Amino acid sequence: MEYFFLTVIILILLVGVFLTFRFSSKKELRKDKKNYYRKEIQKISDFPSPSERIMKYDVVLHHILKDYGYSGNVGDQLKAKPRVIHDLNTIWSLHKLRNKLAHSMDTISEELLERKAEEFEKEILRLL
C-alpha cells in the first residue's frame, strides 16, 4: 500500500514537471512567420499617418502574440505578461495610446504620434 501511494506521488510530480516545462517554455515563431510579419511592418511603415501606423502595429502585435500562444485581445495577452516582450511597460503604453486614438476625441500632437509610431515599430521588431 505504501508503494502505491509513493508511486502516485511520483507520477503527480512528474506530470507537474512536464506541464511546467510544456507551458512555460518560450515558443519560437517559424522563419516564414517572422518574414511575413517583417513585410507587414514594412508596408505599415510606409503609411503617411502615424495614427494609422499605430493602429496597424497594434493589430500586428495581437497576431504575433497569438502566434506565440497568447489568447484573447491585446489587453488579455499583455496581462499574461508574455515572456517574449522585452519591455512590457512600453508595449502597454503603446497599446493604451492606440486605445486612446480609437476611443477618445482628444487631440495628440503629430510629433508625439510620429515618435510613438517609430517606437511601436521598434518594439514589434524586437519580438521577431
* pLDDT tens for each residue of 21-64: 555 545 789 999 999 999 999 999 999 999 999 999 999 999 99
The torsion defined by the Cα of 107, 47, 63 and 113, in degrees rounded to 10, comes to -30
Structural domain including 51 reads: 29-127
What is the number of other CB atoms lying within 10 angstroms of the CB of residue 34? 16
pTM exceeds 0.85:
no
Cβ-count burial 48-58 (b if 16+ within 10 Å, e if not): eebbebbbbbb
Domain assignment present for residue 9? The answer is no
Could you read off the pLDDT of 55-114 as tens digits, one per residue? 999 999 999 999 999 999 999 999 999 999 999 999 999 999 999 999 999 899 999 999
Residue 36 belongs to some domain of the structure? yes
Q: How far apart are CA 118 and CA 46, in angstroms?
A: 11
Copy the grid coordinates of residue 99.
486605445
Q: Is residue 114 part of a domain?
A: yes
Number of domains in the chain: 1
**Does 90 reside within a domain?**
yes
Interior angle at CA 127, CA 50 and CA 86, nearest 5: 95
Residue 76 lies in a domain: yes
On whether residue 3 sits in a domain, the answer given is no
pLDDT of 19 reads 63
Q: What's the confidence (pLDDT) of residue 21?
A: 55
Whether 72 is in a domain gets the answer yes
What was the pLDDT predicted at 22?
Answer: 56
What distance in Å separates the CA atoms of residue 62 and residue 84, rounded to the nearest whole number?
A: 13
Identify whether 1 is part of a domain: no
